[in-house]
Amino acid sequence: MKFTVLGSGTSHGVPMISCECRVCTSTDPRDRHNRPCLLVTTDSGTNVLVDTPPEFRLMAIQHRLRRVDAVLYTHAHADHIFGLDDLRIFNWLQHAPIPLFGEQEVLDTIATAYRYCFVNTQKGGGKPQLDLAPIEPDRAFELGGVSIRPLRVMHGSLPILGYKFGTKAAYVTDVSLIPDETWPQLHDLDLLFLDATRKEPHETHFHFEKSLEVIATLQPKRAYLIHLAHDYLYAEDNASLPAGVELAYDGLEVSV
Interface with Zn ion (CB under 5 A): 11, 16, 19, 21, 24, 77, 79, 174, 230
The answer to whether 177 touches 118, Cβ cutoff 8 Å, is no
Find out whether the peptide bond into 201 is cis, omega within 30 degrees of 0: no
CB nearer to Zn ion: give 11 or 185. 11
CB nearer to Zn ion: give 146 or 252. 252
CB nearer to Zn ion: give 42 or 52. 52
Q: How far is the CB of 103 from Zn ion (least distance, A)?
A: 14
45 burial (CB, 10 Å; 0-12 / 13-18 / 19+) is exposed
Q: How far is the CB of 19 from Zn ion (least distance, A)?
A: 3
d(CA 9, CA 33): 4
Q: How far is the CB of 11 from Zn ion (least distance, A)?
A: 5
CB nearer to Zn ion: give 32 or 230. 230
CB nearer to Zn ion: give 34 or 185. 34
CB nearer to Zn ion: give 103 or 174. 174
Contacts of 218 (CB under 8 A, 6+ apart): 186, 187, 189, 192
Q: How far is the CB of 77 from Zn ion (least distance, A)?
A: 4
Q: Which residues, in sequence order, are bridge partners of residue 99?
A: 131
Q: How far is the CB of 120 from Zn ion (least distance, A)?
A: 32
Taking only Cα atoms into account, the Rg of the chain, rounded to an integer number of angstroms, comes to 18
Q: How far is the CB of 9 from Zn ion (least distance, A)?
A: 9
Chain Cα centroid distance, residue 208: 18
The answer to whether 4 touches 253, Cβ cutoff 8 Å, is yes
Whole-number Cα distances in Å, 224 to 4, 52, 227:
12, 20, 10
